[in-house]
Every structure is written in C-alpha cells, then in structure tokens.
Amino acid sequence: MNTKETKFKAEISSVLGTDPERIHLYWKGRVALYALLKAAGIKNGDEVIIPGFTCVVVPNAVLYSGAMPVYVDIQRTSLNPSFADIRAAVTPKTRAIILQNTFGLSTELDLITKWAKSNNILTFEDCTHGFGGLYQGKPNGTFCDAAFFSTQWNKPFSTGIGGFSAVFNDTILSELIEVDKSLIHPRWDEDALLLLLIISRKFLLSSVTYYFLRDLYRLLSKFNLTIGSSSGTELTDPIMPASYFKAMGKTQVNAGSKEIASLDCVLALRKKNAAVYTQKLVQHGKFHVSPELHQNHSFLKYPILVSDKKKFNESAEKDRIELGDWFLSPIHPIETNFEKWHLSLENIPVASFISSHIVDLPTDTKHPEHVLSFLDKNMDIIV
Ligand SMILES: Cc1ncc(COP(=O)(O)O)c(C=O)c1O
C-alpha cells in the first residue's frame, strides 16, 4: 500500500474512531457493498433485507452475490423501514439486513442491530449518505458488522466517484482481505479522465450551469462516454458489468485526502441550512424532518414532498435552485421493469408514494435565503 493510501485511510478512520486497517478503499461504494457480501459468505439461496427506498446499485450488489433482495417499505416520517417491519420480513433464509442512513438520518439502529445479533443475522450499514454525522452520539457507520460509504459527487465528501468500507466483525475482516485480492486497478486513462472531471466540476459547476452540466453528465454516462455514476448495464439489468470489482485509484485517493479536510465545515453548513428550512416548513405546517427523530442529523440533502414534481422542478430550474432528485423511484433511478430486481411496488406503497413526491433541497449552499424565497414562492405545491 502506498503512503497516500495509508494517510487517507487514517483520515477516514479518525472520523469513525476506528483503526485504519478496518478501512478498505474501492472504485465506488457499491463495490464496497459487494465485497462485504462476498466476505460475509452471502450466496445463492440467501435473503438480504434492504430498504424499499434506495439506489438500484444496492439490490444489484445483492443479486450479483447470488442472494435475493427482500424489500421492506419505509415510514413516511423517517424515510427508513421500522424495526417492526424489518422483523416481519425475516425468514429462515435471511442472512443479512442492510440498514440505510437516508440523507444523513438513521433509524432504530440500536434495536435492530441488537435483535439481529441475537438471531445470528449480520447487519450492514449503508452509510453512503452519512459519513461524518452522528447517531445516538456514535459516528454513523459504526453500528453494524460493517458499513459501506460513498464518495461520489454529491456525497459528504467527494473523490469524483468512489467508496470505502469499515469492518467491525473480525471474521468478515479477514475474509475481506482475501476477497480484495481479486480487485482490478483503474487504468491510467480512467484515473486521468476522473481527474479531468473533478477539475471541470470545480471550475465549471455553479447555480447557472448546474442543470445543463447535470443533464450532460447523465447523458454521457448513459452511453458510457464518460466515467459515470452508473455504467449502462447497471441500470438495465441486474447483471454485473465487466470491470465492476475495482479498487480506488490514485486520483480518488488524492482528491479524498484534500476534501475530507473540509468535512466539518461542510457538515456545520448543512446543519445550519437544514435548521432554517425546518423552521420555514414548520411555520407553514408542511412535511419536514422531525427533530424528535434525531439528535444529530447530518443532512446530506433536505427532503421535502411536493404535489407536482414537474412544476416544482421547472420552477427550481428557472430560479437556479440546485434541486436534487433522489429518489426518483424506490430503486433509483429505475422507473420500469421492477420485476427484474424482484420488486413489487404493491409491497412498498409508502416508498412508491414518497418517490413520486420527493425532491431534495441543497444543504451545502452559501445562499439559503435564495432557497427560502423560492420555497415561499412555491409553498402551494409543497405538501
Ligand atoms: C442509498 C445509496 N446506497 C448506495 C449508493 C451507491 O454509492 P456509489 O455510487 O458510491 O456506488 C448510493 C449512491 O448514491 C445511494 O444513494
């Protein structure tokens, strides 16, 4: 391992309060999840419980391992499944439960992890949204047997694309060292293209260019013409793309070390902005993230519900508000052929409703007053 990787792992582990040896770096967060499932011996015939409100790459990784994803509907308040609903979904085939930190918020982790342990079920924390935040006084990502994190563009800190895992179960950790031996390494041109994307984003992205660049990036990614958040086949079929199992490259390690240094400042800004959004939504009696559900939410995004997504999006684009679209569907961004992912929308009515009404306000903006006046103008569309 080179010294920059060692330094980056030490920087990550100090936020989590663990040893650098427990941190493993990957090309994307989903690769970290797949590696964990393999290291845990998850295989054909097993079931893995996941939230019915996630990114499609999560059920993809489960299906690549040979296991079956079992989707559990979410609660409207927490945007995560409840302990009671998770417990009801457990069968003798359940080997693992994936507990998601959604936009920075975790739910009932203490109860679920304790119960799972006493029933010999592994737990994995999908902490792709939550790095740097706390839940019940403990760092997000330190509650389960292992956690995986994302450092993709819009995550708590970014390496362009990227991800890592933190492993607390020693059996999984020693297996993971074996599993990682088959990782491939990014080619020099992939490393160079990613560097170009990171530099372009830094200098070109602004509220004026946001929608144009976002749509251009998504289009180029769809045709595999750039290093996308997802490559074509991941969004059409749950079949593992070639070169999926890839390690983190040099560009990502260098970018990560720089970005993680400003994590605390960004987190403070996110919380400050979230507090003013909550105040505004409370004033108008609208859906908002309930303070009773968290002591220390890290607010990667601020979810709100709207009655007409199209109208709200158009209005945001016109007012140059950098609105997010997570999650467009219960397995974002898939909008058809859910059966390929073994998902029946009838089983997850709350997640289906939420995904057709949710939009996310930016929490890292330096101009929250701009977002507030946009909310005022569009209050009639907000639920
Ligand atoms: C909930 C959730 N899980 C997993 C992932 C996958 O992370 P990555 O893109 O780094 O593979 C994402 C990506 O945004 C996500 O939102």
DSSP labels for 33-47? HHHHHHHTT--TT-E
* Interatomic CA distance for residues 161 and 198, integer angstroms: 9
Q: Calculate how far, in angstroms, residue 158's C-alpha sits from the geometric centre of ligand 1.
A: 12
Cβ of residue 158 lying under 6 Å from some atom of ligand 1: no
Residue with CA nearest ligand 1 atom 15: 55
Residue with CA nearest ligand 1 atom 14: 55
Tell me, which fold does domain 263-381 have in CATH? Aspartate Aminotransferase, domain 1 (3.90.1150)
**Which atom belonging to ligand 1 lies closest to the Cα atom of 326?**
16
Angle at which helix 250-260 crosses helix 188-204, to 10 degrees, equals 30
Domain boundaries, the chain: 3-182, 188-241, 263-381
Instruction: Read off the pTM.
Output: 0.96
pLDDT attached to residue 203 = 78
For domain 3-182, the CATH class is alpha beta
pLDDT attached to residue 213 = 80
Does the CA dihedral 41-45-49-54 come out positive or negative? Answer: positive
pLDDT tens string for the chain (383 positions)?
A: 689 999 999 999 999 999 999 999 999 999 999 999 999 999 999 999 999 999 999 999 999 999 999 999 999 999 999 999 999 999 999 999 999 999 999 999 999 999 999 999 999 999 999 999 999 999 999 999 999 999 999 999 999 999 999 999 999 999 999 999 999 999 999 999 999 999 888 877 887 787 888 888 888 877 777 787 787 689 999 999 999 999 999 999 999 999 999 999 999 999 999 999 999 999 999 999 888 888 889 999 999 999 999 999 999 999 999 999 999 999 999 999 999 999 999 999 999 999 999 999 999 999 999 999 999 999 999 99
Cβ of residue 29 lying under 6 Å from some atom of ligand 1: yes
Mutate to test the pocket of ligand 1, among 28, 30, 221, 227 (most ligand atoms within 8 A of CB): 30
Residue with CA nearest ligand 1 atom 2: 55
Cβ of residue 152 lying under 6 Å from some atom of ligand 1: yes
* Interatomic CA distance for residues 332 and 47, integer angstroms: 21
Residue 3 contacts residue 250 (beta carbons within 8 Å): no
pLDDT attached to residue 200 = 86
| Residue tagged 């639920």 (tokens) | 383
Cβ of residue 58 lying under 6 Å from some atom of ligand 1: yes
Residue with CA nearest ligand 1 atom 7: 29
Q: To the nearest 5 percent, what fractions of the chain are helix, strand and coil?
A: 45, 15, 40
Cβ of residue 130 lying under 6 Å from some atom of ligand 1: no
Q: Calculate how far, in angstroms, residue 284's C-alpha sits from the geometric centre of ligand 1.
A: 32
Mutate to test the pocket of ligand 1, among 33, 100, 152, 155 (most ligand atoms within 8 A of CB): 152
**Which atom belonging to ligand 1 lies closest to the Cα atom of 151?**
10
pLDDT attached to residue 229 = 78
Q: Calculate how far, in angstroms, residue 329's C-alpha sits from the geometric centre of ligand 1.
A: 14
Cβ of residue 257 lying under 6 Å from some atom of ligand 1: no
Q: Calculate how far, in angstroms, residue 55's C-alpha sits from the geometric centre of ligand 1.
A: 6
Cβ of residue 80 lying under 6 Å from some atom of ligand 1: no
For 42, phi then psi, to 5°, come to: -70, 135
Q: Calculate how far, in angstroms, residue 161's C-alpha sits from the geometric centre of ligand 1.
A: 10
Mutate to test the pocket of ligand 1, among 54, 128, 234, 355 (most ligand atoms within 8 A of CB): 128
Mutate to test the pocket of ligand 1, among 36, 55, 327 (most ligand atoms within 8 A of CB): 55
